Amino acid sequence: MTPFGTRLAAAIEERGRFCVGIDPHAALLREWGLGDDVASLERFALTVVEAVAPVVGVVKPQSAFYERFGSRGIAVLERVVAESRAAGALVLMDAKRGDIGSTSQAYADAYLDPASPLGCDAVTVSPYLGFGSLAPMVEACRRHGGGLFVLALTSNPEGPEVQHARTDGGTVAGTMLAHLRAANAGAEPVGSFGAVVGATIGTTDEDLDINGPLLVPGYGAQGGTVADLERIFGAAARWALPSSSREVLGAGPDPTALRDAALRGNDAVRGLGA
């Protein structure tokens, strides 16, 4: 399988770096004039897929907004994955999974095995049972050409109590970034093991050059700007994936308006790291 990093680099070159979150919040369903039920979930999610998956490089469904509807919601998520990939977009599942041993392997089988109905191009994961707990997922990525995005420096105000905590080797966040740098060593044009770094963290002394992609939530409606990304990431912005959901999804339910919002978002960040 072609490594995720190689496929991501091609997607950025062809379609741009903007990542659109497909997050069916109950409030957004209401804004679209829809109910809070599975039929509305399906209409919302597949309208977004039809509008944006043919024109952006990466889409990011947030699993929780589908899981809350049970098995029927997961069935919609499976369609989001399949139809987004059929339209040429890479699918990054925002699931933030993390566990040990056989459970970690089961998560790898669910999200990173192409034979799974939820098999995606990449998945977000939590390393806070120790980076080594992600070993089954790392191995699945190497075997199947998938990618991971590991929580490192998130924008939520509670994050620093863990991520800024110091160990013998530096901060917890710095340790995770170092593990990712090692996992990506020698990869060209970029590695498959990325970090999640928020657009609203302010400044950081951490080295964000991990030879891997950087998923950047908090851009757009949540306050992060292009200037913030340039300041925080510097040269590492070359592999940054600014992510936004509300800024695009709020343009619905009209498909043309959704597509135009996605294209505007893409244009705004096209020159990052140049």
Percent of the chain with pLDDT over 70: 100
Q: Are 48 and 77 in contact (CB under 8 A)?
A: no
Query: Has residue 242 been placed in a domain?
Result: yes
Residue 168 covered by a domain? yes
Return the pLDDT at 85: 98
Query: What is the pLDDT at residue 166?
Result: 93
Residue 274 lies in a domain: no
Q: Which of 15, 96, 142, 246 is catalytic?
A: 96
Residue 226 domain flag: no
Q: What is the mean pLDDT of residues 140-169?
A: 94
pLDDT at 202: 87
Dihedral, 60, 61, 62, 66 alpha carbons, nearest 10: 180
Q: State the total domains in the chain.
A: 1
Does 224 map to a domain? no
Q: Which of 85-89, 168-172, 235-239 has the lowest mean pLDDT?
A: 168-172
Does 96 qualify as catalytic in the annotation?
A: yes
How many percent of the chain have pLDDT more than 90? 90
Range of the domain at 263: 4-203+210-219+237-269
Which tens digit of pLDDT belongs to each residue from 84-95? 999 999 999 999
As a whole number, the mean pLDDT across the chain is 96
- The residue whose two tokens read 């566990």 is 99
Is position 107 within any domain? yes
**Structural domain includes residue 113:** yes
CATH of the domain at 115: 3.20.20.70
49 found inside a domain: yes
Q: Which of 7-21, 41-55, 154-168 has the lowest mean pLDDT?
A: 154-168
Evaluate if residue 222 carries a pLDDT over 80: no
pLDDT at 51 over 80: yes
